[in-house]
Structures are given as structure tokens and as C-alpha cells.
Amino acid sequence: MILRGQRLLLPLLLGFGLASAASAAAARPLTITVDLTRAGARGSFRPDTALGAGIDGAQAGEIDRLFTARNVAAMRSLGLRSATYRLRTELGIEAWHWTEQGTWSDSAHAQGYWTGSARASGSIRLSWGYQLPRRGDTQDNANNIGWSRLTDGDLATFWKSNPYLDRRFTRDARAHPQWIELRLGAPAAIDAAQIAWADPYATRYEVQYWTGLDDYDDEGRWRAFPRGAFAHGRGGIELRRLAAAPIRAQYLRILLKTSSGTAPAGSKDVRDRLGYAVREVGFGTIGADGRFHDVVRHAASHADQTFTHVSSTDPWHRAIDRDPNLEQVGIDRFFTSGITNGLPAMVPVGVLFDTPENAAALVRYLKRRGYPLARIELGEEPDGQYGDPSDYGALYLETAAAIRRVEKRTPLGGPSMQSAATELPLVEAAKKSWNAGFIRYLKARGRLSALQFFTFEHYPFDDICGDVHAKLLAEDGLLDSMLARLAKEGVPRTIPWVIAEYGFSAFSGEAMVELPSALLQADIVGHFLGAGGRAAYMFGYGPNVPINQHLPCAGFGNMTPFLADAQGQAGAPLPVFFAARLISQIWLQPGHGLHRLYAARVHAQAGPGWVVAYAVRRPDGRLAILILNRSGGRDAAARLAVKGGGALRGPLDVWRYGPAQYQWLADGVHGHPVRDLPPAKAQAQTAGAISLPRESLTVVAERAGR
């Protein structure tokens, strides 16, 4: 039987568990001192702009199941009032048709470069991604059903680089050489390459191999084959001898330096002749008989072909390329459903796999509709595509310039990094940091001011097996090191820093439906805001079901505040829901009022720092302290003291959420809570002995009107 309150929106008033209270009372009390002096000030924020959640792209039919009145009301009840729109098409190597009304550059054939209509009529309820038929990547970060045209075995298809990286569009003083990388399953003997070119082909290029022991070897370098430099390419199908004797290599690259500038017959679009295009590539040896023996696997399947990765992809596509299984919520539905609470939202535009013209048209449409915009985020997770960050930087500046021609005021930023510490494979050690390369490019162009806010995602644990509570303990240091790294790499501290998505892990597991998920959520929010962060958006806003997608030892779970029923509707609330409510409605005063954060130091804590606290002075004058006991097996107790502002005066309101309120039954996909109660509320006459059960969140607040 699930013991659950009858209403989601109002926490139930319950007493504390006697066993927990007795255990805490027996423990040696800690002292938590709130420093209200100037030295203890940790910045300020407004809850309705600092706390938010994101709506992501989905698979076919999921948007309609999510955007029901019941689910929208359930999501809004978390109290995370700010919203961000997440752009899954950028992860799936797809162009985003934010509206189906618009124009093709080749309208006669319903193909080319798409620009949505800024004057689209009706209400946009759904939108889709369009697969890019000139794709060169074997894998992607979304549904991963596509494949590279470079090793698909079909000479009628081809990969083409992004024409917007030509100087005609970038207007910078540097070249943007493009490349094709292949990863063989194991080292192989290589002395020849076969390249089937399309238009435009490379007239000057170099064929290289990687010298490192693996793709992240700091000592690795790209080295040209002894006969691997070519200066007079003529297109067609070229079989090139690379060395007099075979060289064993696993990682191979074709570096494209000069384009022929040629276009297919009948082309009228300048973009068709900019960049590079290749139909098929092969590597291997030339035998004594003069025949080429190819070690590359050619198949129209990402699972069966040799892995290829490219520097960029042409956003050219066709009407027939719509992916029905990658849908985004319609932009009108997003703003009118109530999910934004009528507040300005952070919205994205495509960059890597879209065009500046389409991005500007979307912004023009949003302005015409009168939707309030907090920020415009350019792209999503470009570091996760593992391309040259200067290429993204050039596309970023082009897109920003196009948007600025139609919208002057809304802050532009990004790049919504998949991690604050993305290391690039197959590059020299000094160039491994993607973010450092991006910031360096903007500075070199004298355009760092075009980055008006900085976003990154924070999923701290890929592996959520083992001691989950030890991982909770490590989170503070992980986040601090990430922020220090970003600052060292040159991200200005004078612009807002925003966590565009946060959660336990990018992979599912039981920790996400257990109490550690609530503790991590509270810790990320408190720690990031205390470190000067401007806003943090929770990922996994809608109801979902337990799954396991990565490590069997992680168990079954999901990033979600509610279990979904058979119709995808919000059912049992989970720890993330109650934590969000405790933070947004109890610790903080809901609304736009200014909250001031102060240091809360924990003294006399033996061993690891299981207990951590965050203190705010609310707009109503009340001091409120959020306290986390991250231990999985040790209760605690604390005395509360104040430095520089007088003692906490009782009676105090004390809210607690922990094992007395919640218990999960692990049962694979059928897992569910067997105890599911809201935070319990009580009063304390003094701040002298506050019990802190294991795995619990506690809020202690001065009473209103005292």
C-alpha cells in the first residue's frame, strides 16, 4: 500500500519518527553557524528566475502525452517557475523546423536550406527534426538511428561540410580546414587510401595517422603518411599510395585544406560550392597484384559500418527527411500551456545543424507573438559533437549577428556544454579543452562580448553504482573544480553563469528515485547559487518510468518528479518533487523577492563532511536554513548559531524530509514507493538541538511575524 497524501500541492503536517529523534538526540550535536557579516555574504538571487526546469525534445507521441492539463499542473506544482526549452535536434544531427510553414532554397524540389516563416499562422503545437542526408558521423547523441554517408557503401550519397564555415560567411581572417576521421576496430596495416569525391572536392589535402596509444593519449599527434600530402587533387575517385611500406594505425584522418569551389551541374546556390564533399572513403593496402584491399567496413548502418567522425555537416536537407521520431514541443504550445508561468523563458536556436537565417526567423516570430524571453541560447551541447571549437565559434558569431539584426536586447549566450570539462579526443594535449578553444576563438576575433551569458550542463556521475552517498559527498568538490576550470579558461565572471540542465547522471539508475536524488538536487542548487551562479534548471520535468540503460548495477530509475501511469500521466510523487517543493516553497519565499545567501559553517563534524547547510535571509526578513545530512547510515543533531545578526529566536518552524517519509521498493520496471509522504512539520522552541536523520533534508526557519 502506498501511503500518500491526498493533495500534491500542500505538504501534510506530520510528527517526527520517534526512533530517528532518539538516535539524533544521542549523537554529539554539531554546531552550524550562519555568518550574517559582510564576510559571510554569498550573493543574492530571486527564486522565480533562479530556479527552473527544462522541456526537452522527445520521441513520437510523447509531447502530446506530456502536455496534458494534469501533467502541466503537476510540473508547475514543483514551484520551479522559470522554464527553458531544450533542443534535441542539435544532439541528433538534425535541422529544426520550428514551424512547417516556410521556404526552401530550392522550392521547386522541396529541398535545400530551410527558413521558417516569421509570420506563420495558427498555433504551432508540434515541431520536428529533419535528418541531414549529407551526414558524415556514424553516431549521434539523440536517438542514434542514423549513419555516416562516408562508409555506407553507396556512391550516390555523400558527406559535405558546412558551407557557413567558408570565409564568405565567417568573415574572419583564418581558414577553417575540415576533416574526416576514421576509427578502425583495431590497428591495421595501411599504405593506401581510396577517396571518391563529390563537388566541391579538395585540391589540397593531407592523409594522416594518429601516433598515440589511444584516442586520448596526451603524447599522441597526427602525422602525415610519408606520401600523404597532396596538392593537385582533381576529384573523381582517387586511389592514393600513402607509404612505401605499410604503417600500422587505428585512427586515420583526411585533413582538407583547399576547396575546388566547384558545384554539381545546374546548381544556382553559392552554398553548393563552398566546403568539401566526399562520397566514400577506404583505407588499406595495395597488393602485389596492384589491387586495393580495403579494411574499412561499408554499410548503411551505424552498427555495421566503420566509425567515422567529421568536423562539420551541411544543414542541407529535403522535405522527405523529416524524422517523425524526434519531435519538439511547438513553440506556441510551450508558451501558452502554462509551463512558463507567464515568465520570460530561455529559448534555443539551432547552430551546428541549422542556418543563421532560420534562427533569426524564429526570434522574429517570438517577438511578433509577444512571448517574453529571458535569454536566447545558441545551440546545445556543441562540445558533445567533438568538433573544432573554433568552427562552432564562427557559427556562433554568424548566428548571433543574424539575431541581432532582428532583436537588439535579449541576451545571447550558450553554448550549453554537455559538461564543463569536455576533453577532445585525437588532439594534442594543449588543445584538449573544448571550452578553452571556444573562448580563445572569441577573444581572437575581439568578440567575447557576444557571449552575454554562459551555460553548461551538470550531470556529475556517469557511474551511479557503488556507494552513492560517497558520491554525494564528492559533489561539492566536483562542482567547485568545474567552476574554477571555467574561470581559468577565460569565461568572464561578469556575465551570468547558468546550469542549463542538472541531474544525477546522464544514465538512468535507482539513485534517481531514492532519497539521494533529493539531496543532490538541494546541494546543487544551494552550492551553485552560493558560488555566484545565476540560475539552475532541473532536467526531467515530466512523469516517467523506471528504466536501466547503462550499467546493470545501477538498478532501475529515472530523472523524474513523478512516476508515470500507463497513459503517461503524473502518478506517485518522488523525492525530487518533495525536495523542489521544500526548496521553492519553504526554504525560499516564492516570487520575485530578493534573497540573500550567507555562509553556514558546520563545526565539530567528525570524519567526512556529511552535513552541509545553506542559509538565506528572505524578503520577509525571516532567516531560513536548509540542512542536508548526506550520510546513508548516520543520524546527526545540530545547534544553530548566528554570527553578526543576533541569535535565532524561537519558536522555529522545522520541516524535515527523509526515511520516515519515503521508501522505494526496487522491482525493476515495476519499482514504486511503499512509503510516500510529504515533508513533516514541527516546531522547535530553541535552536539548541535540531535532529538531522540520515538521508534527510531539513529546513529551519524563523516564524513569520515574530
Tell me the whole-structure pTM to 2 decimals: 0.94
3-class state of residue 400 by DSSP: helix
Distance CA 166, CA 421 (A): 29
List the one residue out of 583, 580, 634 whose CA is nearest residue 605.
Answer: 634
Location of C-alpha cell 516553497? 585
Of the candidate CATH numbers 2.30.110.10, 1.10.1060.10, 3.90.226.10, 2.60.120.260, the domain formed by 159-314 belongs to 2.60.120.260
pLDDT (tens digit per residue) in 346-379: 999 999 999 999 999 999 999 999 999 999 999 9
**pLDDT value of position 649:** 79
Location of C-alpha cell 542541407? 316
pLDDT (tens digit per residue) in 629-676: 999 999 999 999 999 987 787 789 999 999 999 999 999 999 999 999
Can you say whether the dihedral through the CA atoms of 146, 309, 89, 271 is positive or negative?
negative
Distance CA 190, CA 296 (A): 11
Cis peptide, bond prior to residue 200, ω within 30 of zero: yes
Distance CA 515, CA 673 (A): 11
Read off φ and ψ for residue 213, nearest 5 degrees. Answer: -70, -30
Q: Is the pLDDT of residue 15 over 60?
A: no
What mean pLDDT is predicted for residues 467-478? 95
Average pLDDT, the chain: 94
Residue 449: exposure state from Cβ atoms within 10 A (0-12, 13-18, ≥19): exposed
Q: Is the pLDDT of residue 502 over 90?
A: yes
**pLDDT value of position 97:** 98
Strand 595-603 to 611-617 pairing: antiparallel
CB 199 within 8 A of CB 263: yes
Strand 412-417 to 454-458 pairing: parallel
List the one residue out of 657, 560, 658, 459 whose CA is nearest residue 75.
Answer: 560
pLDDT (tens digit per residue) in 130-153: 999 999 999 999 999 999 999 999
610: confidence class by pLDDT, cuts 50, 70, 90? very high
Half-sphere exposure of 195 (CA within 13 A, CB side): 30
16: confidence class by pLDDT, cuts 50, 70, 90? very low
List the one residue out of 541, 156, 128 whose CA is nearest residue 325.
Answer: 128
262: confidence class by pLDDT, cuts 50, 70, 90? very high
Please state the length of the chain.
Answer: 706
Q: Is the pLDDT of residue 250 over 60?
A: yes
Q: What letters, b where the CB count within 10 A reaches 16 and e where it falls short, cover 465-495?
A: beebbebbbebbebbeebbeebeebebbeeb
Q: Is the pLDDT of residue 584 over 80?
A: yes
Q: How many CB atoms lie within 10 A of CB 100?
A: 17
Q: How many CB atoms lie within 10 A of CB 413?
A: 23
**pLDDT value of position 27:** 55
Strand 562-564 to 30-35 pairing: unpaired
pLDDT (tens digit per residue) in 229-242: 999 999 999 999 99
**pLDDT value of position 489:** 98
**pLDDT value of position 173:** 86
Distance CA 177, CA 205 (A): 9
Distance CA 372, CA 367 (A): 8
Half-sphere exposure of 192 (CA within 13 A, CB side): 16
